[in-house]
A and B are shown apart, each in its own frame.
Chain A
Amino acid sequence: MMTRALLLLVFAVPVLQDDKVAPLVKELESTELRRVYHAVADLAALGEAALPSVEAAAREAKGRTREYLTLAAEEIRSAQATGIVPPKRISLKAADRNVVELLNDLRAKTGVALSLENLQGEEKLPDAAVDIKDCTMLEAFDAICHAGNVTVTMENGQFMLYQGDYQDLPRFFYSQYFFRLGNYVLMKTATFRKPAVQSFKIQMEMLWDPAAAPCRFSPPVVVEAVDDRGKNLLIPPAKKKDVKTPPDPEDEDGQEAMSFLELQPPTPGAQKIAVLRGFAPISLPKTKATVSFSEPPRKEGGPDEGHASFEGQIRKVGDFTVKISKVEAAMFRIGVEISSTKMKPDEIARLPFLAGVALKGGDLGRTYVSLWSMKDDVAELMVSFQPLHLKEPLIRLNEDRPAPPPVIEKLDLSIVTAVQERRIPFEFRDLKIK
């Protein structure tokens, strides 16, 4: 009886997965891009159990459907390695709340680290009407910002919000990632040495949920680009520049998410780009060595040493020794020295780092880790942070006094020791170019 039940279970699981996979595969043929990529994300969310079915479907499929299925299979494998949970989809409907209240709701529903500080002025914000159904956090976030006319930028891996000037740019959402096109430039240059050279570049920016922050980027790859006259805009491989040069760590200033897609100039009479499709390769942390520093409990009646008690603290993890060299809370930064028994400072400097700063009162800081200097045997990093004020009231009194320096309670620093590559797809249709 027991054996029969087990056999039934073993054979039933693929059948059950096939039941879930088949309708999603059908969705991949939709003409609505949003439905296609939601289907890819849903396939990926089925997890490891669905992998054989997805791979089998990929083998049988053709053209774009096959590519979407291959991507879904990659996503399942990648999720196993990184532990990043696929985003849940949410719905939100409101007509009588302002943008700050709506974004605060979004924070509560999704846990996204958003600072609303820039939007908290004394002026009364108008109500923004939204009706969002079955959206990822980023889709909902963008819809709220659109309704409330709020500009979103990404600085040092964190969202920055500014009142006004929302630009309705072509955009594409996938999972925890969001692409938007800034502009395109058609340029013809005569240098008198050879025939005039024409170039066509589209500026594309990638934004992401900080919970799925990439630790490295590679230039985006366009796999399909066709104008409405049918001209293939892909640059032949022979003309492409070598993009395999490893990035210089000193150039990594948080701007890698902005890139230019280089294409062939469209046909002179073309009105739009019919399809622009590709992927942005990123690296996500796979394994990391993490150390935590926290303020030691103050002795009863003892003096308040401020952040001096942090300075000089040393933690060891694996081959690494991490020391806090200085804390400059008023300047929102913490200096950290890292040495290794197996790696030289320049090798350490090339590793990606992640940091989390907890502040007094339970607030979090948006953090950014940069290489500060390299000495004989240590790489010195600077952890910059900015309080997110997640727990502050939604309306702030207009005060001229500068806020007191934040009180740091805890610093978590992770040294990323291995990464998982992931291809984040993007696809745009019918981009007007005239």
Chain B
Amino acid sequence: MTILTAVLLALQADPPSPPQDARVAAYVQQLRDDATRDRARDRLIHIGKSVLPALEKSEADPALLASIRQEIALNETLSSSYGPPHTFTFDGTEEGLGVLLSRLESEARMPLQKNSLDLGQKIPLKLEDATFWESLDELCKKAGIFYWPGTDPIYLNGGNASLKPRAYYGPVMLVVDRMIQQRLVTFDRINSEFLIRVMCVWEKSISPMGPTGRYKLLRVLDDTGASLLPEAAPAAAAKPVMPMRLAGQTIDLAGLRPPSPDARKLTVVEGTLELEFPARIDEVRIEIQVDMAPATKELEGATVEVRSFSPQSTWGAAADVQIRFADPKEAANFRIGASDTEFRGVGDPKQGWIGSTIRVPEKNAYNVTVHWRNPGRQQENPKEIRLRIPRGSVIKNVPFCYRDMELK
């Protein structure tokens, strides 16, 4: 049995990846070509600081080299909250859709809900060093699968693959959901505005707090050559802080000039948007039991208190947690996600889910109810709750560039 499992695993394993030196050399070479530069830069940044010696020996543009070095250094500071994308290589051999999806799902640990798909259909997929999102999109295009990113799990449905423009950056994907041209007449003035709504999603292996809502647009041009950037655009305002960490969020690139009446498409939309990460993660473990007395753990500048742990009928139990901060700003900006919670003590560790969150500004506190779902009736309750408490804030600018987006 063990041998059979090993054989199966060996058969499913990636084709051997080119040695890293060869990968780096190839990407360094690709930096010289306009068509391949952005992707090569992305890959080099996400391979990390081991690429720097080769890059420094190359004749890369010094400004480009400096920007890569700077971004690698920033990524290093994000520690476990950020990391390289999961990458996949497929050699074009026909494989079953189910096998391909399972590989993406298990390696990237991105749960996929497959709704009425013909998992037996054979798909030839040829990709090299593609990220999870690139691979999933290519597979969906070939198999006729539609999905909306930003849900956990991701729901895959049969149909036409999405035509929404995408920009990939490491483990992050930015999807243009829609473009809205609005003319508002209030009978004493007229406001014309154009906005591009972007959905920002990321692999589960990274854990940002979410987009701040701020962005910088470098170029927005329509096919008549008109720029949509206003002359004196005010800085984009930050989005209100979400109550919890989510699997994805939308950002509106707003306040743009409307395209020319004759324009049929936007030839280029290029810029960066801010993605916020915690500066560090404090981990807390607290023993729990039904009808327990409140239990607290002190952290630097914060106190985590499990105020109660109560069974919720037969299906599970809920822990009421209050996190109090010394700094009111930290309290106002704090949020937690399901992946920051874990119950232990019964079977495998199990991620909790967030029932509700409430901010208590007068106490600089954030209340959260974390639920544990009983996998079967009459099981023991968990013995411990583990919480990841994101602290501080680091902003990472995620670049995007879309071309030839149809307006009509």
Contact = CB atoms under 8 A, between A and B. Distances in A.
B179 A190 contact: yes
Nearest to A189: B180
Contacts, number: 62
A212 to B, nearest CB: 27
B182 A192 contact: no
Contact of A268 (B164, B165, B188, B261): B261
Interface in A388-420: none
Contacts of A297: none
Given A190-B407, A196-B407, A183 B184 contact: yes
B105 to A, nearest CB: 26
A191 interface: yes
A183 B176 CA distance: 28
A187 B405 CA distance: 18
A241 interface: no
Given A196-B407, A196-B408, A191 B178 contact: yes
A184 B189 CA distance: 11
A432 B408 CA distance: 27
A49 interface: no
A292 to B, nearest CB: 42
Contacts of A186: 182-183, 185
A135 to B, nearest CB: 22
A169 interface: yes
B287 interface: no
A191 B181 contact: no
A187 B164 contact: no
Interface in A164-205: 167-170, 181-193, 195-196
Contacts of A169: 187
Most chain A CB within a 10 A radius of its CB, from B180, B183, B184, B406:
B183
A332 to B, nearest CB: 25
Contact of B178 (A170, A184, A189, A432): A189
Interface in B161-218: 162-165, 176-188, 190
B interface majority secondary structure: strand
A169 B188 CA distance: 8
Given A186-B182, A187-B181, A188-B180, A193 B187 contact: no
A192 B187 contact: no
A186 to B, nearest CB: 4
Interface range, A side: 20 to 34
Given A191-B177, A268-B261, A432 B183 contact: no
Given A195-B408, A196-B407, A268-B261, A190 B178 contact: yes
Contacts of A189: 178-181
Given A190-B407, A192-B165, A193-B163, A432 B187 contact: yes
Contacts of B183: 185-187
A433 interface: yes
A188 B405 CA distance: 15
A181 B261 CA distance: 27
Contacts of B407: 190, 196
Contacts of B180: 187-190
A183 B178 contact: no
B182 A183 contact: no
Interface string B135-172: 00000000000000000000000001011110000000
B188 A167 contact: yes
Interface string B87-105: 0000000000000000000
A167 B165 CA distance: 42
A184 B179 contact: no
Contacts of B165: 192
Contacts of B179: 189-190
A189 B261 CA distance: 14
A192 B186 contact: no
Contacts of A168: 187-188
Contacts of B178: 189-192
Interface string B388-408: 000000000000000001111
A296 to B, nearest CB: 42
A433 B185 CA distance: 7
11 contacts: A184-B185, A185-B184, A185-B185, A186-B183, A190-B178, A190-B407, A192-B406, A193-B162, A196-B407, A268-B261, A432-B185
Closest 8 CB pairs of A and B: A186-B183, A188-B181, A183-B186, A192-B163, A190-B179, A191-B178, A192-B164, A187-B182
Given A192-B164, A192-B405, 10 more contacts: A170-B187, A185-B184, A186-B185, A190-B180, A191-B164, A191-B177, A192-B162, A192-B176, A193-B160, A196-B408
